[in-house]
A and B are shown apart, each in its own frame.
Chain A
Amino acid sequence: MVMYPTRYHRPKSLEEALKLHAANEEASYLSGGHTLIPALKQRLAKPSDLIDLAVLPGLSGIKLDKNVLSIGATTTHAEVAASPVVRKAIPALAGMVGTIGDRHVRHRGTIGGSVANNDPAADYPSAVLGLGATVVTDRRSIAADDFFVALYETALEPGEIITRIDFPVPDRAGYAKFRSAASRYAVAAVFVAKFGSVVRAAVTGAGSGGVFRLRDLEQALVKDFGPAAVAHCKVDPGAMLEDLVGTSEYRANLVLVMARRALEHLGEAVSYK
């Protein structure tokens, strides 16, 4: 497969990256490249310039400060999954990241790239939304509830760069995914988290508008935080994706099955195929 010609840049600072993007209307940022490069190879995109953010200093790393876990935008999936800090603070998050793609993909793919891309079947958006994280960029902080707009669409402005994601540390959290054996993406996956009397539950892979919160379940879980709460919850098939992997009715049911399993496996991530 042959890509369209492009120009590759290695900026030395965030400022230089922003300038390069501003000067080239059709430019694209590149991080791990494990979504963008396959798209370029299929000629689905034609950026005039590729601006490599993975080489920027200071955008990678993991830090726990009081009850906030900060993960730098260019931190790879392998680094997050193996991090003792993440495994201790939010084990369901570390476990979830360990189920992304495969080992080699996790060596390259980054949290910033995944969140900015907002693939409707990617894992990270469900953790960002399920934990109520804050997406920090070169110019502002964006709450997860305002960040994910639609399929592959986010609140990021043209040229805006994610610098880190701040995750509040929950009391408990869990993640369950049913994945496509071929693509390894989620057919339906649910991230649940409890912070005192507040519960959040986010679904990826299934929604026709991308990642979304399961408000019904959140309310039921406030009263009874456990798998039994799922019985009181409904998912509208009309809001589900339908494709070769499954019908919208199948996905609506699978969301509830994954919600139950996430609640049965709090403190870890489980993946089924």
Chain B
Amino acid sequence: MQHITLTVNGNKVSRDVEDETLLVTFLREYLKLTGTHVGCDTTQCGCCVVHLDGKSVKSCTVLAAQAQGGEVTTIEGLAQKDGALHPMQEAFHLLHALQCGYCTPGMIMAAVNLVDTYPEPLTEEIVREQMEGNLCRCTGYHNIVKAILAVAAAKSADKKPALSGVG
């Protein structure tokens, strides 16, 4: 048994878990944060992506015990307290970057990390390459890429995303 203490979406949480408990299981079953999905469960699809200490990770392939003491952000932690969506959520919504929505939490967490940390200006080619760890079976990816580029462009121009007339 491991006593795990993490900061999840800004809140300190502690639970006793079996040593082999996965981070995604910890989030979904112990904390009831079910926005993080399990898709393939084989480190391929990216539905389970969360941020661990500022990096995007596949939470189905990290033990909760490995994350001990760490800071985790999930899809539930992106919007502001008053319900205002994160710019990436807003862009996915307005540009129709989702259909069934199953991959969306992982897509958005991956996209936020990409825009926040990629050292060079993002191009369509870079976005497609860097988002390879997230699979979507519905959209064909085009609008996902558009949404990410819209947020990146708005961030570099330091203004709200220009979301009309696209998609």
Check if A and B associate. Answer: yes
Which A residues are within 8 Å of any B CB, using their own CB? 1, 3-8, 10, 30, 33-34, 37-38, 40-42, 50, 52, 54, 78, 82, 101-105, 107-108, 182, 184
Question: Is B55 a contact partner of A5 (Cβ separation < 8 A)?
Answer: no
Please, which residue of chain A has its CB at the minimum distance from the CB of B68? A10
Question: Is B66 a contact partner of A54 (Cβ separation < 8 A)?
Answer: yes
The distance from the CB of A12 to the nearest CB of chain B, in whole angstroms, is 13
Please, which residue of chain A has its CB at the minimum distance from the CB of B64? A8
Cα–Cα distance between A50 and B20 once the two chains are bound (Å): 9
Q: Give 12 CB contacts A-B under 8 Å.
A: A3-B20, A4-B20, A5-B18, A7-B19, A8-B2, A8-B20, A8-B66, A34-B43, A38-B43, A101-B133, A105-B133, A182-B44
> Is B104 interfacial (CB 8 A cutoff)?
no
Question: Is A104 a contact partner of B57 (Cβ separation < 8 A)?
Answer: yes
Cα–Cα distance between A1 and B114 once the two chains are bound (Å): 29
Question: Is B119 a contact partner of A52 (Cβ separation < 8 A)?
Answer: no
Assuming A102-B132, A108-B61, is B110 touching A5 (CB within 8 A)?
Answer: no
Question: Is B61 a contact partner of A33 (Cβ separation < 8 A)?
Answer: yes
> Is B36 interfacial (CB 8 A cutoff)?
no
Cα–Cα distance between A108 and B43 once the two chains are bound (Å): 12
Near A by CB (< 8 A), chain B positions 11-53 give 18-20, 22, 41-44, 46, 49
- Residue of B60, B65, B119 near A82 (CB, 8 A) is B119
The distance from the CB of B148 to the nearest CB of chain A, in whole angstroms, is 13
> Is B56 interfacial (CB 8 A cutoff)?
yes
> Is B153 interfacial (CB 8 A cutoff)?
no
Question: A-B pairs with CB below 8 Å: how many?
Answer: 74
Question: Is A1 a contact partner of B61 (Cβ separation < 8 A)?
Answer: no
Which B residues are within 8 Å of any A CB, using their own CB? 2, 18-20, 22, 41-44, 46, 49, 55-58, 60-63, 65-66, 68, 110, 114, 119, 130-133
Assuming A34-B61, A105-B133, is B56 touching A5 (CB within 8 A)?
Answer: no
Question: Is A105 a contact partner of B55 (Cβ separation < 8 A)?
Answer: no
Assuming A38-B42, A101-B133, is B2 touching A108 (CB within 8 A)?
Answer: no
Question: Is A105 a contact partner of B19 (Cβ separation < 8 A)?
Answer: no
Instruction: Collect the chain A residues with CB atoms within 8 Å of residue B19's CB.
Output: 5-8, 50
Question: Is A108 a contact partner of B18 (Cβ separation < 8 A)?
Answer: no
- Residue of B41, B55, B119, B130 near A41 (CB, 8 A) is B41
Cα–Cα distance between A242 and B133 once the two chains are bound (Å): 26
The distance from the CB of B114 to the nearest CB of chain A, in whole angstroms, is 7
Instruction: Collect the chain B residues with CB atoms within 8 Å of residue A54's CB.
Output: 66
Question: Is B133 a contact partner of A33 (Cβ separation < 8 A)?
Answer: no
Contacts A37-B22, A52-B65 aside, 15 further interface pairs with beta carbons under 8 A come to A7-B19, A8-B65, A33-B66, A34-B61, A38-B43, A41-B41, A42-B42, A50-B63, A101-B133, A102-B46, A102-B133, A104-B49, A107-B55, A108-B57, A108-B58
Most buried by A among B42, B43, B44, B57: B43
